[in-house]
Structure 1
Amino acid sequence: MEWLNVQTLIWLFPILFIIHDFEEIIMVEKWLHHNRHKLYERLPQKIADKVVKQFSMSTAQFAVAVLFIFLFVSLSTILANYYFLNGVTFTIYFFTAVTLVFFIHAFTHIGQSLLFRSVTPGAITSAIIIIPYSIILFKSLFTSGILTWHIVLISLPFGILFFPIVFTAHWIGKRVI
């Protein structure tokens, strides 16, 4: 797999992100419509209310939200490749934070499918694309010496900052269309 070097893996990130999110875009509105009652059966009411409120949007609105998030994913990818050109280390921290969130996010889809005993939006691409890609990416970054556990531990808390970005993206999606 020499053709699949670290830079290629980094550039694959936004492509695989959008493939995953296409699955979510296509499925989320219909899934929520047909499974709203399951949310209230399996989750505490306050949490179910928040999930329904957060994801009660049309497919077009959700696509706008995904576009907004895609801009951050793309920025992290561009900055990570900037590391190869100029050796600016902070760019790897940003990319690491974003890819760690994406990796962890994939497991939430698997957990949702187990909880609801059905295929949920994003579960298929999480299982066959995102988790394997993330493992290969992180292994390559570690092997090449670009990523260290120190960088991971520093980057991980910054992943929490992605939540306001997602909430803002959903807010924008609901307002634009």
Structure 2
Amino acid sequence: MTIETLIWMLPLIFIVHDFEEIILIKTWKNKNQDLFLAPTGFKPYDHFKSQEKFSMAVLEELILFIGVAFYTVISQNYLVWIGTFFAVTFHYIPHFIFCFHVKRFVPGAFTALLALPVSIWILIAVIQRTHYNAFELVASCIICLLVFMLNLKGIQHVMSQ
């Protein structure tokens, strides 16, 4: 598989995962009202107020990831892509934590389970084809993870309005 094909897996894997969430969150929240009616406790997807707002948030992230993939293919600079793909891959882990915490399935967990090993393989394959040192890779992953988390917090805030 060419490195360019691997680069375009970023928006592709992301959108498949988020389609699961778009399709399932509303029904899941309705069926799991007990989690949200409790005065305290863990409330996954509490920021979700409408499917339209969630879809707009997904679109915003998709546009960013398409931009990262496009920039990477054009520039042949893989550092931002590696950090971004790491952040997307890392983001699957909370889905598993949510499942264990609420002791039931949560939207996104199924595709996260499928995407995690594939994403790790893709990340390793791209890193092996580049020339970056460990410091550059770790710095890129940390910076992109922080940017990803800030962006996620921002869009969650907008969705909860």
Where is the helix percentage greater, Structure 1 or Structure 2? 1
Q: CA deviation at 1:47?
A: 5.7
Distance of 1:75 and 1:112 partners within structure 2 = 30
| Aligned with 1:131 (options 96, 116, 123) | 116
Distance of 1:131 and 1:147 partners within structure 2 = 23
Deviations 1:81-109 (A, max 9, x none): 1233xxxx4xx232122111111111111
Where 1:45 maps in the other structure, the secondary structure is coil
Taking a change above 3 Å as real, the CA distance of residues 145 and 27 of structure 1, as seen in their structure-2 partners, is same
TM-score (norm 2): 0.84
Q: CA deviation at 1:171?
A: 4.5
Q: Do structure 1's residue 38 and structure 2's residue 23 form an aligned pair?
A: no
Distance of 1:40 and 1:163 partners within structure 2 = 27
Q: What amino acid sits opposite 2:80 in the alignment?
A: F
Q: Do structure 1's residue 101 and structure 2's residue 87 form an aligned pair?
A: yes
Deviations 1:31-66 (A, max 9, x none): 22322423676xx93764x952x22x1112211110
Distance of 1:116 and 1:149 partners within structure 2 = 37
- Aligned-pair identity in percent equals 21
Aligned to 2:136: 151
Q: CA deviation at 1:16?
A: 1.4
Q: Do structure 1's residue 67 and structure 2's residue 53 form an aligned pair?
A: no
Q: Structure 2: any 5+ residue segments left out of the alignment?
A: none
Q: CA deviation at 1:73?
A: 1.0
Aligned to 1:117: 103
Distance of 1:134 and 1:69 partners within structure 2 = 17
Which is worse superposed, 93-102 or 69-78? 93-102
Deviations 1:17-38 (A, max 9, x none): 1111000101112222322423
Distance of 1:51 and 1:26 partners within structure 2 = 13
Distance of 2:26 and 2:159 partners within structure 1 = 13
Distance of 1:133 and 1:19 partners within structure 2 = 13
Taking a change above 3 Å as real, the CA distance of residues 114 and 64 of structure 1, as seen in their structure-2 partners, is same
TM-score (norm 1): 0.77
Q: Do structure 1's residue 29 and structure 2's residue 16 form an aligned pair?
A: no
Runs of 4+ aligned structure 1 residues displaced above 4 Å come to 171-175
Where 2:130 maps in the other structure, the secondary structure is coil
- Residues matched between the structures, number: 160
